[in-house]
A and B are shown apart, each in its own frame.
Chain A
Amino acid sequence: MTAPTQQLLALEGEVERAIRSGRESDAARLWTQILALAPSHTAALTAVGQRAFRSGDLITARAAFDRLVAVEGRDPLHWTNLALICQQQADASGEEAAIGGALTADPSDLLGLILRAELFDRLGKRHQAAAAFGAVATVAPPLARLAAQFRPAVERARAYRDQYDHEFGTFLDEQLASIYAEFGAGSVDRFRDSLDMLVGRKRRYDSRPAILYYPGLPTIEFFDRALFPWLDAFEADTPAIAEEFRSVLRADAGFEPYINYASDVPVNQWAELNHNPSWSAFHLLKDGLPVTNNAATCPRTMQLLATVPAPDQPGRSPAAMFSLLRPHTRIPPHTGVSNVRLVTHVPLIVPEGCGFRVGNTTRRWTPGQAWVFDDTIEHEAWNDSAQQRAVLIFDVWHPQLALEERALITALMRSINVFTGELGGAEL
């Protein structure tokens, strides 16, 4: 072992003892001696730099950390320390370079991202600051899991991003107003949705079927009415359907709770409405078959249902029912089983104060106006009124499935039934 190496080891031992017994000035002297022997000693550079920074000796601190990042540039902490020194020295370009070093070492280093955003903000670079604060908000874990010293900065980053998005959205609305006017209502609706998502006014909803996800289909909340020409007859005959509904309601037989899970199954989101008559159904078609007694009382509705391109999935689909939502009842947000089928609503009785949301879109039911929606997108319904709300609900095939694909899906469901020896069941 060479003499300087032995001397270095001895000094390292001494400095350790000095630190342990709290002799700070001894430790500082020893670190300086170590640096004289080994100018690239990372622990010594860190200690000397930090001590100098604390005592306000920025020149010594800067020299130590400049050296440190040259020796060991892979640690983002050395770079962010250097950036803080530059900040104290009011050296913005040095600070920017040091932050760049930290983020090159680790592109998602939270402290580096925060420092970069705050620097852009100080320099008045608003757009770059917004992008940088956005990166802080994206990278940071939820506040509850965040180290306490980062919380104020991350909260500020979120607030900055939200305010910027708000201003950005207002600016874009103004810029695009003329092109909206040119193309007219309806032709750029999904574009407007895209803009709302871009500036955070809406969020993206995907199809989340519980059982069967069919790929390649668009995720559309409410479908274009023109795809379902047979809806005309339902709308025209709404008074007749409503009359049939009223007569079964008067007879007060055949309604059952809409949610009917066995009471010992964990039902999570449905706990409150399980077996609850606040949301009840009068089934016309259930699990793919007519409910004979009920169907016999509603001949016109059954006639109309026969015109629908309904799925053919024994034990599962089609279903058709009068859905009765009692006063002051809310159906919590939920998603359906498969995107191969869509759900039709024919509103019959709709008091004020009822609403229906699918993804980003909230609509009001209007008797005589039917719609078809994708129930695998998160949706919810409410009746905040003092009266009952009634809607005819039934399944239809997704119109973009080829006949061959429909046959395959039907065969799949039959095969599952054959295997399990049952029709349908909660799993599908």
Chain B
Amino acid sequence: MQADEVSVLVQRGVAAFRQGNTADAIAVLSKVVDAGRGDASLLMVLAAAYRRERRLEPALEKASHALRLEPTNLQAVLLNADLLADSGQTRGAASYYLAALKLASTLETIPDAVQADLTRAQAFCNEQTSLTERNVRAALARAATVATSERFRESLDIMFGTTKPYLQQPKHYFFPDLPHRAFYDPSQFDWVVALEQHTDAIREEVRALLVTPDLFNPYVERNLRRPQFGIDRMVNNPEWSAFYLWKHGELIAENAARCPRTVAAMQAVPLTQMPARSPSVLFSIMQPNAHIPAHHGMINTRLIAHLPLMVPAGCEFRVGNHTRPWQEGKVWIFDDTIEHEAWNRSNQTRAILLFEVWRPELSIAECDAINSLFSAIDAQSGQPPVWEI
């Protein structure tokens, strides 16, 4: 077939399609395609003509041919998806719509006309996902394999997109290969039960502190030596304050003198020991109706423990996907490099004892190496470390 003949047929075929004369369009354009002279856009017009005639099988064949010629043609992907949807193949349609959305996300500009198709594609995928989710959850329930595992339930929520994985995001130092776990099982830590037995004595000491004016400082203080991005609402915020017994590895003698029983109880806990940095042990106070916005800790080689002392109803704490209320006298241990936040939705003060312990996955050799690292950093900079708990 000569080039001028092709061009005449294409013009005639496309004109016939535009005028709604689909039978003619199919007849004319098929001649070009059968002669091996059809490009992707021509195949798509032909597919669209078949679609108007409700002849879905040849329509799909032509659309699929177009996509083979131009695998990254967004409109060809969408057309394949539409045709599969028309023919009731919802799962196939969903996978093509998904492919279209992925492809679109790599493109710099999207024509307005296609934008509406993409919105439709997203809606179709959402609908399919939620249908799958409902059915799979129902099937799991029927199979009596009741999801007793908390992390299995979390994996389901992540798979169906109702939540996302929360990973360790330390601001300062990342130690690899550790599990991304929000809360640890307190029974893994042999000091917990003994400490919990001192709750009443420790609570009495924090009560005495709270009735003495001016003992507490803001939890996060402005530090002009370092950029403090993204924590504007936490810096110098009087709604969240602290009273330190140990700070950056040093016992604060005058504070410790006010809380002898707390200090004695903490002697039995294997606190993180890092020169000029750890341990820190403090009473953390949240004022009524305070909210500590979501944030990440400094370093993932330690865990943070809370001993709740005064917990009015309406207080909650979230680490990653897990939200829990504090319970007075019950220790919990969490990874503060996973995004976390706290609420006091009551009219009373919330008080906890807060401190840090090494992660149980670390060997003694690794803890020693970490301490040597930070000593070397301090030696090099010749400055006190910038350190927060």
Contact = CB atoms under 8 A, between A and B. Distances in A.
Interface of A: 100, 103-104, 107-108, 113, 127-128, 131, 135, 139, 168, 171-172, 175-176, 179-180, 183, 187-188, 190-191, 193-195, 197-198, 204, 206, 211-220, 263-268, 271, 400, 402, 404-405, 407-409, 411-412, 414-416, 418-420, 422, 425-427
B267 to A, nearest CB: 28
B132 A194 contact: no
A422 B132 CA distance: 13
A337 to B, nearest CB: 11
B165 A191 contact: no
Nearest to B379: A175
Contacts of B381: 127
Contacts of A265: 95-96, 99
Interface in B165-207: 165-167, 173-181
Contacts of B261: none
Interface in B127-181: 132, 135-136, 139-140, 143, 145, 147-149, 151-152, 154-156, 158-159, 165-167, 173-181
Nearest to A262: B64
Contact of B365 (A113, A188, A266): A188
Interface string B207-240: 0000000000000000011111100100000000
Contact of B165 (A172, A213, A402, A422): A213
Given A213-B159, A408-B152, A414 B143 contact: yes
A263 B227 contact: no
B180 A215 contact: yes
B149 A415 contact: no
A168 B148 contact: no
Contacts of B376: 171-172, 175-176
Contacts of B58: none
B264 interface: no
Contacts, number: 172
27 contacts: A100-B224, A107-B232, A108-B227, A127-B382, A171-B380, A172-B377, A179-B372, A188-B366, A190-B177, A191-B369, A191-B370, A193-B177, A197-B174, A198-B174, A215-B165, A216-B181, A220-B177, A264-B67, A264-B71, A271-B71, A404-B149, A408-B149, A411-B143, A412-B156, A414-B139, A415-B139, A416-B132
Nearest to A214: B155
A164 B68 CA distance: 50
Given A212-B155, A420-B132, A264 B229 contact: no
**Which of B64, B154, B227 is most buried by chain A, counting CB atoms within 10 A of its CB?**
B227
Nearest to A131: B226
Nearest to B166: A215
Contacts of A198: 173-174, 373
A283 B77 CA distance: 31
A422 B363 CA distance: 47
Contacts of B67: 264, 266
Contacts of B135: 415, 419
Nearest to B132: A419
A204 B176 contact: yes
Nearest to A168: B380
Given A416-B132, A418-B139, A213 B155 contact: yes
B136 A412 contact: yes
A364 to B, nearest CB: 22
Nearest to B381: A127
B80 interface: yes
Contacts of A220: 177
Contacts of A418: 139
B321 interface: yes
B19 interface: no
B148 A404 contact: yes
B226 A188 contact: no
A216 B227 contact: no
Contact of B99 (A127, A135, A211, A266): A266
**Which of B148, B232, B372 is most buried by chain A, counting CB atoms within 10 A of its CB?**
B372
Contacts of A214: 151-152, 155
Contacts of B136: 412, 415-416, 419
Contacts of A425: 91
A425 B90 CA distance: 14
A402 B147 CA distance: 13
A143 B178 CA distance: 34
Given A188-B369, A191-B370, A194-B174, A113 B227 contact: yes
A419 B159 contact: no
A218 B151 CA distance: 13
The 9 closest A-B pairs by CB, nearest first: A415-B139, A175-B376, A411-B145, A419-B135, A183-B365, A264-B67, A191-B369, A218-B179, A194-B175
A82 to B, nearest CB: 17
A415 B140 contact: yes
